C-alpha cells in the first residue's frame, strides 16, 4: 500500500500523519513538542524542529513501515532562519510572534516612497513585526556581525525541506508572507531587501519558489491579489496559483488557556463555565492583547478587562475571554470585504474542539459554523499535497476523494444581540492603551 506523509511543524509541536495515498485513511500519527516560547523575544533553534520531526516520526512508527512515496511539510510562517556559507544555522530562528522587530517596521515604512501604500503595492502587505523582512532588518541593526555572515535566508518550512531534500526551496504561500515576494508579480522584490543592505547578493541568498498546481487567522480564497494599504489584510498567495487575503491575530486560544489557569480549572470545565454565562458576559469585556497584538498592530499592548463589578462570576470571566478572542479576530476579518460576509464559516485548530468557541463564533458571525471531523488539519493538508504530487492530480480532487471537509455544523442563535456585543468590544479596544 503506497503511503504519503504530511508534516505540520507549528510553533508548539511537530505533528506527523501517515496516510494511504489512494483512500486517505490514516495509517499512523505521531507528535513531539517544540520548546515553549513567547514574545517579545520568541525564538527556537531549527535543530529543535528537526529533533521533534524525527521524534514524531518515531512516535508514528514511521521507520518500521513502508518507505513513503511522498512527503509534504507545512510549518509556521514568517520565521527567520539564516545560514552561513557552510549551510549551518547562524543563530536561533526569530519566530512569527517575536516582536523585537517592532521598531524596524517603522524604519522600513519610512524607507519606501508611499509608506504603507507603497508597501501594499510592492508586495501585497504592509510589513509588521511578524514579517520576515522586519526580522532581517532587526538582524542587520542589532547583530551586524551575524548579518555579515548570512549566505542563505530561509523560512521554517524551507529549512525542514532543505534538511529532508538538500534543496533550498519554498512555495508561493510562504514566500508571500516574507514582505519581499510579490504575489501579484510572482517574483522576489530584491529592491525591498536592498532597503536593508546593498551588500548582500539577495538573488543567491533566497530559496527557489515552487508552486504546486498558536494564533488566530481569518482568510478567504480569491482569484485576485490583495493590496491593503492599512496593513490589516495581508496579501498572501496559496501554493496552487490563487490568493489568500488573510487577517492574523497573535492572541487566540492561549488567552483562554491563561484564563483557565487563573480560574484554576481544566479546559473542559472552562468551556462549561463559558457556556453557563449569558451572551455579553454581563457587560464584562476582555481586550485579549495579552502579548501585544498583530491585528490591530499594537506590539506593546497588554490585555484589558472592563465592566468589572463586585458580583462578577467565573462564568462571566470565561465567557468574556472567549468573546474577546472572537471579537478581536472578527474585527480584523471585517476588512476582508463584504463578499466574505455570507456562507458557512469553517472553524479549525484548537478552538474547534471547544463548544464555547463554536457557539460564540456562530452567534457573533450570525452564520453556520462547520467544524471538520478531521484532527490535525494542517498535517492532513500536507498529506493531500504529497498525494497530489504522487498521483499528478489537483489537490482539490485528492481532498474530495479522501472525503475531507465533512463535519458538525453549529447554527447561530438569532436571539443574540451580536451587534451590541461587538460594539461593546470596539469601545473597549478604543479605550485600551496601545
Tell me the CB-side half-sphere exposure of residue 432, using CA atoms within 13 A: 26
Cα separation, 121 vs 341, whole angstroms: 25
Residue 364 binned pLDDT confidence (cut-offs 50, 70, 90): very high
Q: What is the pLDDT of residue 188?
A: 95
User: For residues 351 and 49, which has the higher predicted lDDT (pLDDT)?
Assistant: 49
Q: What is the pLDDT of residue 210?
A: 67
Beta bridge partners of 290: 292
Q: What is the pLDDT of residue 258?
A: 95
For the chain, give the percent of residues with pLDDT over 90.
74
The mean per-residue pLDDT over the stretch 147-152 comes to: 97
Of 11-15, 86-90, 310-314, 373-377, least confident by mean pLDDT is: 373-377
Do residues 363 and 371 lie in contact, with contact meaning Cβ atoms separated by under 8 Å?
Answer: no
Cα separation, 273 vs 284, whole angstroms: 14
Residue 305 binned pLDDT confidence (cut-offs 50, 70, 90): very high
The mean per-residue pLDDT over the stretch 125-134 comes to: 95
Residue 349 binned pLDDT confidence (cut-offs 50, 70, 90): confident
State the architecture of 76-212 in CATH terms: 2-Layer Sandwich (3.30)
Same fold, 76-212 and 253-368+411-431: yes
Do residues 75 and 157 lie in contact, with contact meaning Cβ atoms separated by under 8 Å?
Answer: yes
The mean per-residue pLDDT over the stretch 72-82 comes to: 95
User: For residues 341 and 312, which has the higher predicted lDDT (pLDDT)?
Assistant: 312
**Fold annotation for 253-368+411-431:** Nucleotidyltransferase; domain 5 (3.30.420)
Q: What is the pLDDT of residue 213?
A: 39
**Can you give the length of the chain in residues?**
434
Q: What is the pLDDT of residue 214?
A: 57
pLDDT tens-digit map of 155-170: 999 999 999 999 999 9
Q: What is the pLDDT of residue 212?
A: 46
The mean per-residue pLDDT over the stretch 19-40 comes to: 94
Query: Which grid coordinates belong to 165?
Result: 531534500
Q: What is the pLDDT of residue 237?
A: 85
Cα separation, 34 vs 45, whole angstroms: 10
Q: Determine whether 277 is exposed, middle or buried from the number of CB atoms within 10 Å of its CB (0-12, 13-18, 19+).
A: buried
pLDDT tens-digit map of 187-243: 999 999 999 999 999 999 999 886 543 567 888 888 888 888 888 888 888 877 788
Mean pLDDT of the chain: 92
The mean per-residue pLDDT over the stretch 136-156 comes to: 97
Q: What is the pLDDT of residue 66?
A: 73
SS3 for the chain, per residue?
CCEEEEEEECCCEEEEEEEECCCCCEEEEEEEECCCCCCCCCEECHHHHHHHHHHHHHHCCHHHCCCCCEEEEEECCCCEEEECCCCCECCCEECCCCCCCHHHHHHHHHHCCCHHHHHHHHHCCCCCCCCHHHHHHHHHHHCHHHHHCCCEEECHHHHHHHHHHCCCEEEHHHHCCCCCEECCCCEECHHHHCCCCCCCCHHHHCCEEECCCCCEEEECCECCCCCCCCCCCEEEECCCCCEEEEEEECCCHHHHHHHHHHHCCCHHHHHHHHHHCCCCHHHCEEECCECEECCCCECCCCCEEECCCCCCCHHHHHHHHHHHHHHHHHHHHHHHCHHHCCCCEECCCHHHHCHHHHHHHHHHHCCCEEEECCCCHHHHHHHHHHHHHHHCCCHHHHHHHHCCCCEEEECCCCCCCHHHHHHHHHHHHHHCCC
Q: What is the pLDDT of residue 223?
A: 82
Q: What is the pLDDT of residue 221?
A: 80
Q: What is the pLDDT of residue 280?
A: 98
Q: What is the pLDDT of residue 344?
A: 85
Q: What is the pLDDT of residue 63?
A: 55
The mean per-residue pLDDT over the stretch 92-115 comes to: 96
Delimit the domains of the chain by residue range: 76-212, 253-368+411-431
Beta bridge partners of 235: 245
Whole-prediction pTM value? 0.75
Amino acid at each position: 500500500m503506497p503511503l504519503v506523509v504530511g508534516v505540520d511543524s507549528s510553533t508548539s509541536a511537530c505533528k506527523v500523519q501517515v496516510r494511504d495515498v489512494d483512500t486517505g485513511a490514516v495509517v499512523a500519527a505521531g507528535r513531539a513538542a517544540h520548546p515553549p516560547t513567547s514574545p517579545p523575544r520568541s525564538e527556537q533553534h531549527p535543530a529543535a524542529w528537526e529533533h521533534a520531526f524525527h521524534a514524531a516520526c518515531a512516535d508514528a512508527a514511521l521507520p518500521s513501515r513502508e518507505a513513503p512515496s511522498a512527503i509534504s511539510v507545512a510549518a509556521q510562517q514568517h520565521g527567520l532562519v539564516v545560514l552561513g556559507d557552510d549551510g549551518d544555522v547562524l543563530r536561533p530562528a526569530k519566530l512569527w510572534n517575536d516582536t523585537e522587530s517592532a521598531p524596524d517596521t517603522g524604519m522600513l515604512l519610512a524607507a519606501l516612497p508611499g509608506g504603507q501604500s507603497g508597501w501594499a503595492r510592492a508586495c501585497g502587505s504592509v510589513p509588521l513585526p511578524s514579517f520576515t523582512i522586519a526580522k532581517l532588518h532587526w538582524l542587520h541593526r542589532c547583530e551586524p556581525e551575524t548579518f555579515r555572515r548570512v549566505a542563505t535566508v530561509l523560512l521554517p518550512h524551507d529549512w525542514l525541506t532543505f534538511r529532508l531534500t538538500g534543496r533550498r526551496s519554498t512555495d508561493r504561500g510562504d514566500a508571500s508572507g516574507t514582505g519581499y515576494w510579490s504575489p501579484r508579480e510572482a517574483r522576489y522584490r530584491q529592491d525591498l531587501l536592498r532597503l536593508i543592505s546593498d551588500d548582500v547578493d539577495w538573488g543567491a541568498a533566497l530559496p527557489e519558489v515552487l508552486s504546486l498546481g498558536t494564533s488566530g487567522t481569518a482568510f478567504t480564497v480569491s482569484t485576485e491579489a490583495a493590496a491593503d494599504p492599512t496593513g490589516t489584510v495581508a496579501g498572501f498567495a496559496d501554493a496552487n496559483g490563487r490568493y489568500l487575503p488573510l487577517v492574523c491575530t497573535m492572541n487566540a486560544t492561549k488567552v483562554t488557556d491563561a484564563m483557565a489557569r487563573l480560574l484554576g480549572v481544566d479546559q473542559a470545565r472552562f468551556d462549561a463555565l463559558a457556556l453557563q454565562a449569558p451572551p455579553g458576559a454581563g457587560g464584562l469585556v476582555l481586550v485579549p492583547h495579552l502579548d501585544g497584538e498583530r491585528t490591530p498592530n499594537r506590539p506593546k499592548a497588554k490585555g484589558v478587562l472592563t465592566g468589572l463589578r463586585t458580583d462578577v462570576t467565573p462564568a462571566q470571566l470565561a465567557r468574556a475571554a472567549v468573546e474577546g478572542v472572537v471579537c478581536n479576530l472578527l474585527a480584523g476579518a471585517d476588512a476582508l470585504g463584504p463578499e466574505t460576509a455570507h456562507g458557512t464559516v469553517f472553524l479549525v485548530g484548537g478552538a474547534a474542539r471547544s463548544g464555547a468557541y463554536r457557539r460564540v463564533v456562530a452567534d457573533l458571525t450570525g452564520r453556520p459554523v462547520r467544524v471538520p471531523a478531521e484532527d490535525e488539519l494542517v498535517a492532513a493538508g500536507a498529506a493531500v499535497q504529497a498525494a497530489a504530487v504522487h498521483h499528478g492530480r489537483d489537490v482539490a480532487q485528492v481532498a474530495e476523494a479522501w472525503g475531507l471537509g465533512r463535519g458538525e455544523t453549529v447554527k447561530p442563535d438569532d436571539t443574540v444581540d451580536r451587534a451590541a456585543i461587538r460594539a461593546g468590544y470596539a469601545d473597549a479596544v478604543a479605550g485600551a492603551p496601545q
